[in-house]
Amino acid sequence: MATILPRRDVIEAWLAGSPARTQNSSLSTDGDTLYSYNLQIGYKSIHGRAMVKDYRAPNNISQTTSTHVGLAISAINDPGAIRNPYPPMVGVARREATE
Protein backbone atom coordinates (compact mmCIF):
# COMPACT_ATOMS: atom_id res chain seq x y z
CA MET A 1 0.00 0.00 0.00
CA ALA A 2 1.33 3.43 -0.94
CA THR A 3 2.11 5.96 1.76
CA ILE A 4 0.24 9.28 1.51
CA LEU A 5 2.72 12.15 1.23
CA PRO A 6 3.05 15.74 -0.05
CA ARG A 7 4.00 16.10 -3.75
CA ARG A 8 7.73 16.67 -3.25
CA ASP A 9 7.94 13.68 -0.93
CA VAL A 10 6.14 11.46 -3.47
CA ILE A 11 8.89 12.33 -5.96
CA GLU A 12 11.57 11.58 -3.36
CA ALA A 13 9.85 8.23 -2.68
CA TRP A 14 9.97 7.48 -6.43
CA LEU A 15 13.69 8.25 -6.51
CA ALA A 16 14.20 5.99 -3.47
CA GLY A 17 12.12 3.19 -5.05
CA SER A 18 9.22 3.33 -2.58
CA PRO A 19 5.49 3.44 -3.40
CA ALA A 20 3.69 6.66 -2.42
CA ARG A 21 0.88 8.97 -3.49
CA THR A 22 -0.61 12.34 -2.70
CA GLN A 23 -3.83 12.60 -0.71
CA ASN A 24 -5.93 12.97 -3.89
CA SER A 25 -3.75 10.52 -5.90
CA SER A 26 -2.96 13.14 -8.54
CA LEU A 27 0.74 12.23 -8.18
CA SER A 28 1.74 8.66 -7.44
CA THR A 29 4.52 6.13 -7.77
CA ASP A 30 4.96 2.40 -7.44
CA GLY A 31 8.65 3.06 -6.79
CA ASP A 32 9.67 2.55 -10.42
CA THR A 33 7.26 4.74 -12.37
CA LEU A 34 6.00 8.23 -11.56
CA TYR A 35 2.45 9.16 -12.58
CA SER A 36 0.55 12.41 -12.85
CA TYR A 37 -3.01 11.13 -12.65
CA ASN A 38 -2.69 8.02 -14.87
CA LEU A 39 -0.06 9.49 -17.22
CA GLN A 40 3.48 8.17 -16.89
CA ILE A 41 5.77 11.18 -16.38
CA GLY A 42 8.80 9.44 -14.92
CA TYR A 43 10.49 6.08 -15.11
CA LYS A 44 13.78 4.38 -14.27
CA SER A 45 16.14 3.36 -17.08
CA ILE A 46 17.51 -0.18 -17.20
CA HIS A 47 20.51 1.21 -15.30
CA GLY A 48 18.30 2.77 -12.62
CA ARG A 49 18.61 6.37 -13.83
CA ALA A 50 15.50 8.47 -13.14
CA MET A 51 14.09 9.84 -16.40
CA VAL A 52 11.32 12.43 -16.79
CA LYS A 53 9.02 12.94 -19.78
CA ASP A 54 8.74 16.69 -20.29
CA TYR A 55 5.02 17.40 -20.45
CA ARG A 56 5.54 21.12 -19.87
CA ALA A 57 4.74 23.64 -22.64
CA PRO A 58 4.56 23.10 -25.56
CA ASN A 59 3.80 19.44 -24.68
CA ASN A 60 1.65 20.16 -21.64
CA ILE A 61 -1.37 18.03 -20.84
CA SER A 62 -2.63 20.14 -17.92
CA GLN A 63 -1.31 22.74 -15.51
CA THR A 64 -1.18 20.13 -12.73
CA THR A 65 0.81 17.67 -14.84
CA SER A 66 3.14 20.47 -15.91
CA THR A 67 3.70 21.29 -12.22
CA HIS A 68 4.38 17.63 -11.39
CA VAL A 69 6.92 17.40 -14.23
CA GLY A 70 8.63 20.59 -13.07
CA LEU A 71 8.93 19.22 -9.53
CA ALA A 72 10.37 15.93 -10.80
CA ILE A 73 12.89 17.69 -13.05
CA SER A 74 13.95 19.89 -10.15
CA ALA A 75 14.35 16.86 -7.85
CA ILE A 76 16.54 14.84 -10.20
CA ASN A 77 18.71 17.83 -11.21
CA ASP A 78 19.96 15.97 -14.31
CA PRO A 79 19.37 17.78 -17.64
CA GLY A 80 20.33 14.66 -19.56
CA ALA A 81 17.43 12.77 -17.99
CA ILE A 82 14.69 14.94 -19.49
CA ARG A 83 12.94 13.36 -22.46
CA ASN A 84 10.52 14.68 -25.06
CA PRO A 85 7.34 12.62 -24.64
CA TYR A 86 6.74 12.85 -28.39
CA PRO A 87 9.91 11.63 -30.13
CA PRO A 88 10.37 12.78 -33.72
CA MET A 89 9.45 10.47 -36.56
CA VAL A 90 12.39 8.57 -38.04
CA GLY A 91 13.38 6.90 -41.27
CA VAL A 92 10.66 5.94 -43.72
CA ALA A 93 7.84 7.41 -41.64
CA ARG A 94 9.43 10.85 -41.87
CA ARG A 95 9.86 10.61 -45.65
CA GLU A 96 6.26 9.46 -46.11
CA ALA A 97 4.97 12.33 -43.99
CA THR A 98 6.73 14.91 -46.17
CA GLU A 99 5.71 13.42 -49.52
Cα angle, residue 81 at apex, residues 65 and 91 outer, rounded to 5°: 95
Mean pLDDT for 3-29 is: 97
Domain boundaries, given as residue ranges, for the chain = 3-98
| Residue among 46, 50, 88 nearest 69 (CA) | 50
Higher-pLDDT residue of 57, 28: 28
pLDDT at 92 over 50: no
pLDDT at 87 over 70: no
pTM metric for this prediction: 0.84
pLDDT at 99 over 80: no
pLDDT at 43 over 70: yes
